[in-house]
Structure 1
Amino acid sequence: MSSNLNILKWLFALVLIFGGFTVYKVFGVLATDVGNKEYVWLLKIISEFGLFTSVVISVGFFHHWIIATEERKETEKIFQNVLTKYIDKTVINAKKRGFLGITEKELDFSEIMHSLYPGDYVYWLITFDPRYRHYCREFELAIKKGAHFRMLVLKDGPASELHAKEIIGFGAEEFRQYNRLFLSSLEDIAGHITEKDGGTLGVFAYDYDNLPSTPLFMVLRKKTKVLEIFNSFYLSEPIGRMPYLHWQAELKNDTSNFFESEQWSMPDLFIDYFHRRWMVERHKLTTVDKEKSSYNDFIYAPASARKKCFSLNGESDTVSNLESI
């Protein structure tokens, strides 16, 4: 349809060119030969208008085919240079490294919980936000459905108090009380998970001298082989109210040396960081087990799958070797 319309436009332009020239010649002859000199001026105006139309359309025709074509080529070159210099280095490169966008304002935690399938893994590295206690029921339902949760939760200590002082509207003691309630809720969930349920839960409550570098919420989708990452920033608002950066990449079993390749992506770096943090806590548990001492900072379910509950999805030999650190 578009090509037919273009053809009609060009035919109309040609008609105007030759038609205008014809009007110019015919009415020019009439103006010379007409017997009644009273209307000569009108005939000359029509003749001159025909010539004007023919010349203007011819110039436009020439400009479009010759001059404008060269101008378009030059403009395309300039645009391509700008595209390569700015767009390719930002938008295209961001997409290549796994960036999808930014959440509208805060992370829709409920939607993510409902989107989990059996066999999916969820990795959690977020200092506690009091609003997350409302989602404990969704944690439990997702685990019963077959999802596996591996969580690093900050326990009471100097880092927790420092973080509480930075958040608007929360005192240190109030923050600690909510944090204890959250850990108690996770223990309660662990008590409801049995061998009949498809999923597992593993939680390390760790004592960290400094706050983690970034809040991380990761979903490893087994069915689609996709790694989905949400990360935010520790500022003055509770982390549950902060916008999150959204990343996505192909799910890989080993990302320990991936940064050295040209195909590196931010999701691979995020998950490698979580692996290393998890292995540090797991090493503490392994040491305590060898010494046959009690260890109260590991929450897991079901009770018969303790070893499985401190294992991560697709652990590589490289990452597992961190246990020897």
Structure 2
Amino acid sequence: MRLRTEKSNQLSASILFFIGSVLGLMLMVLPFFMEFKKHEITQELSNLISSFGSILFSTLGIASYLSHKSQKEFLNHTENMLESFFDDALESSVKYGFVGITDRLSFEDFLNECREGDKVYWLDTYAPGYVQWLSLLESKANNGVKFHFLVLNPQNKDLCNLRAKEIGGRYEEAFNEELKRFTIDLHNISMKIKGKGKLDIRLYDDLLANPFYINERKREKDYALSSFYLRAASGTHFPHLKWIDNGGDSFVRTLKQYYKWKWDESIEIDDYYIDSLKKTESLIKDV
């Protein structure tokens, strides 16, 4: 692409130089041509036309040289700047483990990548459309995957209403009820697991800056997906950044440290808490 641009610029400059040179030469010889054709012309006008042609010819020659030189300098500068930018970006990507962006998060795909012995750290408010992968979640837990879910406390109505208002649309009415059902359904699954894995749930009482999901893998490098809380449901409408734990300052390690701290600060739930959620849910349905 750069070579095409450079050749195009050189061609344009050469054409302009050719046209200007022909015009300049024509002006230089015009006085002699007019004398040959017996046209009357004063010596002063003859000198003026000839001088103008000479100046035009010389100016175009210098301008063409400088233009070509400045184009090369500009292209070299741009090339060096882009090389520096991409070198820095690549270095940062390697340092922090950034590997790409997904257009949409698919929890089903995320779960399908989980294997026996993996540990999943899940941090979000809840997951709209979770019923589509609930059976897969149960299957993975029974087959040896250990899940840890940190979910927004459904009984903290102020925070639920605040997040629902941020997202807007149907969530202003549905957010709190769907969050309650999500929490209840996760608890029900956790009570049914008989295999090698498990499903633990805890609640937090604040609004996060970003949701994320970590797969701490037994046989491969750990990886994580993260997004942002803005004015849309992040789990269904936002792109997610993908990170790989490649050691050192890997961002996956930073996320894991934060998760483990937040887990220790979170609220444990029991059957009594779930029963109270079910009662409030039934009351709302009866209204």
Instruction: Quickly name the TM-score band, shorter chain normalised.
Output: 0.5 to 0.7
1:227 aligns with 2:225: no
Please point out which of 125, 130, 143 is paired with 2:123: 125
1:146 aligns with 2:144: yes
| Equivalent pair of 1:132/1:240 in contact (CA under 8 Å) | no
Instruction: Go from structure 1 to structure 2 and tell me whether the alpha carbon gap of 1:114 and 1:129 turns closer, same or farther (over 3 Å shift).
Output: closer
Using the alignment, how far apart are the partners of 2:249 and 2:110 within structure 1? 25
Per-residue Cα deviation, 1:44-97 (whole angstroms, up to 9, x for no partner) = xxxxxxxxxxxxxxxxxxxxxxxxxxxxxx999968843663112123322321
Instruction: Go from structure 1 to structure 2 and tell me whether the alpha carbon gap of 1:279 and 1:296 turns closer, same or farther (over 3 Å shift).
Output: farther
Aligned residue type for 2:146: H
Aligned to 2:192: 192
| Equivalent pair of 1:110/1:135 in contact (CA under 8 Å) | yes
Using the alignment, how far apart are the partners of 1:198 and 1:108 within structure 2? 25
| Equivalent pair of 1:205/1:297 in contact (CA under 8 Å) | no
Aligned residue type for 1:229: A
Aligned to 2:264: 279
Using the alignment, how far apart are the partners of 2:263 and 2:229 within structure 1? 20
Using the alignment, how far apart are the partners of 2:178 and 2:193 within structure 1? 23
Using the alignment, how far apart are the partners of 1:220 and 1:126 within structure 2? 17
Q: After TM superposition, give the deviation of residue 238 of structure 1 in Å.
A: 1.1
Please point out which of 228, 239, 244 is paired with 2:240: 244
Using the alignment, how far apart are the partners of 1:183 and 1:233 within structure 2? 22
Instruction: Go from structure 1 to structure 2 and tell me whether the alpha carbon gap of 1:88 and 1:178 turns closer, same or farther (over 3 Å shift).
Output: same
Using the alignment, how far apart are the partners of 1:205 and 1:75 within structure 2? 57
| Equivalent pair of 1:131/1:240 in contact (CA under 8 Å) | no
TM superposition outliers: structure 1 runs of 4+ over 6 Å: 74-80
Per-residue Cα deviation, 1:103-140 (whole angstroms, up to 9, x for no partner) = 0x211211121121110000000111322232211110
Aligned residue type for 2:190: A
Aligned to 1:205: 203
Which runs of 5 or more structure 2 residues have no equivalent in the other structure? 1-72, 275-287
Instruction: Go from structure 1 to structure 2 and tell me whether the alpha carbon gap of 1:159 and 1:211 turns closer, same or farther (over 3 Å shift).
Output: same
Aligned residue type for 1:230: L
Aligned residue type for 1:214: N
Aligned to 1:178: 178
Superposed, 1:1-325 pairs within 5 Å as: 81-82=80-81, 85-103=84-102, 105-156=103-154, 157=156, 158-194=158-194, 197-206=195-204, 208=205, 210-224=206-220, 226-241=221-236, 242-250=238-246, 263-281=248-266, 296=272
SS in 1 for 2:133: helix
Instruction: Go from structure 1 to structure 2 and tell me whether the alpha carbon gap of 1:77 and 1:174 turns closer, same or farther (over 3 Å shift).
Output: closer
Using the alignment, how far apart are the partners of 2:215 and 2:85 within structure 1? 31
Instruction: Go from structure 1 to structure 2 and tell me whether the alpha carbon gap of 1:75 and 1:165 turns closer, same or farther (over 3 Å shift).
Output: closer
| Equivalent pair of 1:121/1:147 in contact (CA under 8 Å) | yes
What percent identity do the matched residue pairs reach?
Answer: 29
Aligned residue type for 1:99: F
Per-residue Cα deviation, 1:15-63 (whole angstroms, up to 9, x for no partner) = xxxxxxxxxxxxxxxxxxxxxxxxxxxxxxxxxxxxxxxxxxxxxxxxx
Using the alignment, how far apart are the partners of 2:272 and 2:265 within structure 1? 16
Using the alignment, how far apart are the partners of 1:136 and 1:98 within structure 2? 30
| Equivalent pair of 2:187/2:201 in contact (CA under 8 Å) | no
Per-residue Cα deviation, 1:194-216 (whole angstroms, up to 9, x for no partner) = 2xx0101111023x1x3112101
Aligned residue type for 2:210: T
Q: After TM superposition, give the deviation of residue 240 of structure 1 in Å.
A: 1.8
| Equivalent pair of 1:152/1:203 in contact (CA under 8 Å) | yes
Q: After TM superposition, give the deviation of residue 193 of structure 1 in Å.
A: 0.8
